[in-house]
Amino acid sequence: MAPNEAGDELVFFVNGKKVVEKNVDPETTLLIYLRRKLGLCGTKLGCGEGGCGACTVMISKYDPFRKKILHHTANACLFPVCALHHVAVTTVEGIGNTKSRLHPAQERIAKSHGSQCGFCTPGIVMSMYTLLRNNPEPHMEDIEDAFQGNLCRCTGYRPILEGYRTFAQNGGCCGGKANGLGCCMNGKEDSMTMTSSSLFNSSEFQPLDPTQEPIFPPELMTQSNKHQKQMCFKGERVMWIQPTTLNELVALKSQYPNAKLVVGNTEVGIEMRLKNLLYPVIIAPAWIPEMNAVQHTETGVTIGAACTLKSVEEVMRKAVADLPPYKTEIFKAVLEQLRWFAGPQIRNVAAIGGNIMTASPISDLNPVLMASGSKLTLVSKEGKRTVTMDEKFFTGYRKTIVKPEEILLSVEIPYSKKGEYFSAFKQASRREDDIAIVTCGMRVLFHDGTSQVKEIKLSYGGMAPTTVLALKTCKELTGRDWGEKLLQDACRLLSAEMDLSPSAPGGMVDFRRTLTLSFFFKFYLTVLQKLSKSGTKTMSEPVPSNYISATELFHKDPIANAQLFQEVPKGQAVEDMVGRPLVHVSAAKQASGEAVYCDDIPHYENELYLTLVTSTKAHAKILSVDASEAQSVPGFVCFVSAKDVPGSNVTGIANDETVFAKDVVTCVGHIIGAVLADTQEHSRRAAKAVKIKYEELKPIVTIQEAIEKQSFFKDIKRIKKGDVKKGFEESDHILEGEMYIGGQEHFYLETHCTLAVPKGEEGEMELFVSTQNPMKTQEFAANALGVPSNRIVVRVKRMGGGFGGKESRSTILTSVVAVAAFKTGRAVRCMLDRDEDMLISGGRHPFLGRYKVGFMKNGKVKSLEVSYYSNGGNSIDLSHGVMDRALLHLDNSYNIPNVSSVGFVCKTNLPSNTAFRGFGGPQGMMIAECWMSDLAQKCGLPPEEVRKLNLYHEGDTTHFNQKLEGFTLQRCWDECLSSSSYHARKKLIEEFNKQNRWKKRGMSIIPTKFGISFTVPFLNQAGALVHVYTDGSVLLTHGGTEMGQGLHTKMIQVASRALGVPTSKIYISETSTNTVPNTSPTAASVSADINGMAVHNACQTILKRLEPIKQSNPKGSWEDWIKTAYESCVSLSATGFYRIPDVGYNFEKNEGKPFSYFSYGVACSEVEIDCLTGDHKNIRTDIVMDVGTSLNPAIDIGQIEGAFVQGIGLFTMEELRYSPEGNLYTRGPGMYKIPAFGDIPTEFYVSLLRDCPNSKAVYSSKAVGEPPLFLSASVFYAIKDAIYSARKDSGLTEVFRLDSPATPERIRNACVDIFTKMCPSAEPGTFKPWCVRV
């Protein structure tokens, strides 16, 4: 019976080619195999936990049970190679490429501008491709559902959906009003300027031809008829056994009782990678017929434990369609939970048995199975037994009554009876692909034809270490009549029974307790409605009409959007691309997986892999570091630490950091050393074996602690203007308050990555890095190696996103890798795992703002006193610059005559926080909008009027004494009010709020003014280098890096216009320190401004040299002129340079000009909140943005939408959670939620302001990267508006505090009502919280 020793052959296909593997390690995932073994680097590693979809591939297999070929998506980062026997895999490279032809799924995302940094694009393409293979004419809803498991951080999702809408049956553009009057394609014609609304032309797309798809390998069809034999694969640490019959499986399980059964590897894969668990024996039951069977019995549907959640969904859907409604109450609840269960990539492979046996306390399905009394069949050598899933099934955290040698064979989900009602609810931080905060299943059975309770079961997840039944409550309610009294008693009983300790793991204690009651209330109303529909006589009143919306399940409306921009002037030359929506130059390569990112560079001979060893304590002395155990790991080469640094160990922007921590660590994630080994797996294992002993010191974690201990970085900045004291004396009212704004993780899809290649002479080294800052990368590496900068070349082709996170923090990894390469003399590579990246690299600064504002009765602001505190972390990094910008934006767009402000940067034991899109600006402006909205509330005036009253006008001076010229904000404001039909919709919202007690809508309109320039004056410079070759082609290099923002595309457009040659003749290969030296980081939104001018300058130099040649041959072509120039010995290479004139500001004197100019915008957003659960949906957003004369409207609109959605994350979803000891809990997409496809506004309208050229930048354009981010505050204040309406219904009208982000927890707790009052908070200080607000 023991598995055969010879080792089996694994046979599978990849992109139509047969692969036969003899010795395969069960720990190898499909992703590693594709990238390393087959060299297919189109499939990307984004998170390693199935949460981002960057590694999505299509899996195809012949299903012998259903006799058909099935195609589904899967996460390659979790999919074990061993599970691929007789399976065909299709990757992005297998469906099309730029050399032959792109597949329509690739072509359309590229041409509709749906790919910016391109790192998530292959995964999104594969999700779409798989959908089209299964359904060549999908509905728009199918397309949106297909992307539930894919994330993108750049685009804001709109262009992706827009491009793929062209595949949909009900496609069209605005829900397909067939180019009638209401169609968004009818550009509003204007006699002066043409406005266009089409960023791409769908008539150019090649049609989808399903007959052209690659065929399923015939060999795999014939294989399936042959009898499978048991297979076994042995790796270094793990054995994988795949039996074919139930008897084999039962025998194996009694032989290896502790073996794990794995179908989708979506839980075990994560445990082994992130939780450091090891399971030496894995048994894969996927082939066993009994475990895949589905049977309809007298009492319900029995589903095999190895059936995937996707197949469970199909079975349930069919049953609901075929059976009478009263029998399928439970099935509908299962479907409702599956609808938001992980993403399709997980549902397609994860088995229902795995979901039950994992016994997670926050499982979405277990409460449903428990409340419905589902029956489980267990099998072992002793035979079969059936157990009911009741309160006895789960015995402790992740433990069940199933014995080690037993196997879960199947689960029976019962039919519901007449007079039985069932509901399931779930609340999470994000709707799509998110783990629950609280989840529940609720069932009630009434005595025949009455409303008297015969049986009731309420099951909750997320309220204890296991899924629990509220037994006491259920016992008390049995026999009672379904009415108001029962509701009150149930809530009282539940609040006592479902109690949580205030320091319970997971935090959010008040919210979770309130949810248990809110869910029951929803259930109560739902059942009441169903009872009255069925004609049952009830004692209680019918459901009040303003309560009905509380019972509605979430439904999504079809998306609608439009983008308006100004067409190029009539008569502009056809080949002059400036102002036209040119597609991102790498889009096609990104969509086909051909674009090369740092980790896609082929491996060098003898290359080593590096894994960091980081601190697990926030503040401690290092007593000893012991790497002896690591040496026994196979493939181990050496351990690198501070003593191996040949140059200086001191590093950092302010020279207050070290390459390796030496005696003390000052944050969790502080780099202590690094392990080098032959493969990533080995180096990872060895790094975990390094033992470090600490002596702990007391850490400072939060802003509050830093203020108490006066722990600030020196250089406290202040800005004062006017006479604040006098201003307060003249004011009618004074308002004081404070607001906290949480931090934000960058979550670029490509984590930090460096490849260092030593050249072997004179200390030369080449560094391939994913960085926004080649100059500092070069300087810091040279410093650490003790060589001059001229020996180090840093090369950046592109980044998979940056957002400021790769401006300075990328150097902490690069310097370590450089030292390791220096020590070993071999190429060294390191790409951080998502959990390491989130832990080590810091993010946006959390801010605390305290304000005192004086104002008149009419809302006019007179005087402001404000203090900002930011959490800088353990080093200065860029924190002072961030605070400067916050202080310079404390006015947002409002004219405040008297200002006194101060900014403190707190020094704490967190990883150093850093630049993040907006760079302190959004935090500064958020606090301004906070007091502005409270002030309007206090005056009892409409907020839009108070804001309008206080807006700056042309020629006003700001609080930092800069005069506003070319002030277009008033125009943006008026245009936004009218295009959003603000006043008409405001009336509708008031009407809606009158008619609904538990759902509320809100709306807000918010302006922004963003200063453009580096606040450090000498950074406002840029260089360029232009080579023209004798064939007339142009090679262009400049100081900026490409991270998806389309900078290279814009630079090619600029050079094309300057030289008068078509864009096809110009190429940018990469950014490197040996072509353009001493470059400023690609940041502060100015890259197109300064590099564009430098490119323009270089082109002018070349044109000047060509001038005499052109004059002697005016009719010649560009190629003729270049050939003549070369033969006349005229130089065809030129450098260009530019600096922004007259910028520089002095804080002490409050004089000088910090900014070259300002970008302006206004956004109006409407939301709907669910007052019972804290859920919200973004209904509509209108944005009007001034970007000058756009260089490329497609890229600019892409930046506006991308920044806006990133801001939605910042202000409503993304929450970094730390333990009181300074340990980060949220280390990946599982816990940290960035906006997904479903979070963008259902209606999303963006319009670029017309006729507003900007004299300060290249070709009259304006900066666009950071300014739009703050506009998403309109969503936050719309939520606050909706909460205000809910509080009014509870009799509360005073101003209330809402901190950012407005998560479901904060929204629910702010909507004070009877349920929140039943769950009073514990006194702070009487307990140790699970997490703290940093």
Q: Under a CB-based contact definition with an 8 Å cutoff, are residues 719 and 884 in contact?
A: no
Q: Under a CB-based contact definition with an 8 Å cutoff, are residues 409 and 394 in contact?
A: no
CA distance 699 to 1110: 70
Residue 1266 annotated among the catalytic residues of the structure? yes
- Gyration radius (Cα) of the chain, Å: 31
CA distance 1062 to 1148: 50
Helix axis angle for 969-979 and 982-995, nearest 10°, is: 50
Whole-number Cα distances in Å, 1070 to 795, 1028, 1238: 7, 16, 35
Q: Under a CB-based contact definition with an 8 Å cutoff, are residues 589 and 1272 in contact?
A: no
Strand pairing class (608-614; 828-831): parallel
CA distance 308 to 317: 14
CA distance 346 to 366: 17
Strand-pair partners of 849: 739, 868
Strand-pair partners of 428: 436
Minimal CA–CA distance to 42: which of 85, 102, 112? 102
Which regions of 771-832 does DSSP assign to beta strands (E)? 792-796, 828-831
Residues 6+ apart with CB under 8 A from 215: none
Query: What H or E segment, with its residue span, contains residue 1000?
Result: strand 999-1012
Q: Under a CB-based contact definition with an 8 Å cutoff, are residues 310 and 113 in contact?
A: no
CA distance 256 to 5: 17
Which regions of 1029-1103 does DSSP assign to beta strands (E)? 1034-1038, 1066-1067, 1071-1072
Task: Tally DSSP H helices, then E strands, for the chain.
Answer: 36, 50
Q: Counting every residue, how long is the chain?
A: 1334
Write b or e for each residue in 44-81: b if 16 or more Cβ atoms lie within 10 A of its Cβ, otherwise e.
Answer: bbbbbbbbbbbbbbbbbbbeeeeeebbbbbbbbbbbbb
CA distance 581 to 788: 43
CA distance 514 to 516: 5
Prior bond to 1301 cis, omega within 30? yes
Residues 6+ apart with CB under 8 A from 1064: none
Largest CA distance in the chain: 104
Q: What is the rounded (10 degree) CA torsion for 1274, 1279, 1283, 1286? A: 110
Minimal CA–CA distance to 610: which of 539, 565, 657, 677? 677
Minimal CA–CA distance to 1265: which of 116, 309, 12, 286? 116
Query: What H or E segment, with its residue span, contains residue 350?
Result: none
Whole-number Cα distances in Å, 545 to 530, 820, 1050, 1152, 1283: 14, 69, 55, 61, 20
Minimal CA–CA distance to 522: which of 494, 547, 493? 547
Helix axis angle for 943-950 and 921-939, nearest 10°, is: 120
* Residue of 657, 779, 1266, 1305 marked active site: 1266
Q: Under a CB-based contact definition with an 8 Å cutoff, are residues 495 and 517 in contact?
A: yes
Question: Which residues have a catalytic role annotated?
Answer: 1266
